[in-house]
Amino acid sequence: SAVISQKPSRDICQRGTSLTIQCQVDSQVTMMFWYRQQPGQSLTLIATANQGSEATYESGFVIDKFPISRPNLTFSTLTVSNMSPEDSSIYLCSVGGTGGLSNYGYTFGSGTRLTVV
Amino acid sequence: KQEVTQIPAALSVPEGENLVLNCSFTDSAIYNLQWFRQDPGKGLTSLLLIQSSQREQTSGRLNASLDKSSGRSTLYIAASQPGDSATYLCAVMGSGGSYIPTFGRGTSLIVHP
């Protein structure tokens, strides 16, 4: 399965600022996924990022707030813009396994723990 | 819409006990089911992946079973250890054309010495 390097692992940010989270995958993957996990909650999908096209956002998430880049098949970034304390969460990137998403399950990055003060 | 429920929400046991964590899903038309472990503030580590055609998978002290017809999976942890303390999540990927997994809310496990 793929190995994902995600950074930063954690950050404390001032409200109104932006933070960019990076994920690097050790193999080429078609789709990358970005999730948010609010305290005590399960994972919520923010968007799906395909290389060479605009990301597809889930209901309740917009590009202006969470711009995503996908410049190649091994890298993606998620920016959390104009942050407020409500954005304090763990942010995770994920990829499906090679050889077909349905066959190899999902792999996750190590997570970014964001605290907005 | 697929819904995934995990019971119990929290569990605290002494070291050495055998444990069963439960996951149920409403739509039995699935590709696979995956169990993850999450340590506090960290990402998800895949434990076991069960394809829809399989009934169980084993890795070390972990055994996961799948009963598609009843919409259930169990994760069995043998001889629990304090290092097993974490949140355990199950995720189901449907076969209705969606490649997005649906997650349960997890079972928070504490194994005390």
pLDDT digits (tens, 9 = 90+) for A33-70: 999 999 888 899 999 998 888 899 999 999 999 999 99
pLDDT beneath 50: ranges in chain B: none
Residue contact A108–B89, C-beta within 8 A: no
Residues A76, A49: Cα–Cα separation, whole Å = 8
- A42: nearest CB among B43, B46, B104: B104
Contact B106 A42 (CB under 8 A): yes
For residue A90, the chain B residues in CB contact (below 8 A) are 41-43
User: Does the beta-carbon distance from B103 to A33 stay under 8 Å?
Assistant: no
* A111 touches B at CB < 8 Å: yes
pLDDT number for residue B96: 61
Question: What average pLDDT does this structure show over A63-89?
Answer: 96
- Specify the higher pLDDT residue, A101 or B61: B61
Q: How far is B80 from chain A (nearest CA, A)?
A: 24
Using a CB-CB cut-off of 8 Å, the residues of chain A touching B105 are: 41-42
pLDDT at B19: 96
Q: If you write DSSP's letter for every residue of chain B in order, what string do you get?
A: ---EEEE-SEEEEETT--EEEEEEES---EEEEEEEEE-TTS-EEEEEEEETT-SEEEETTEEEEEETTTTEEEEEE-S--GGG-EEEEEEEEESSS----EE---EEEEEE-
Which segment of A4-8, A108-112, B30-34, B84-88 scores lowest on mean pLDDT?
B30-34
Mean pLDDT of the A9-17 span? 97
Query: Does the beta carbon of A105 lie under 8 angstroms from any beta carbon of chain B?
Result: yes
Q: What percent of chain A has pLDDT over 90?
A: 76
Could you give the maximum distance between any two Cα atoms of chain A, in Å?
Answer: 42
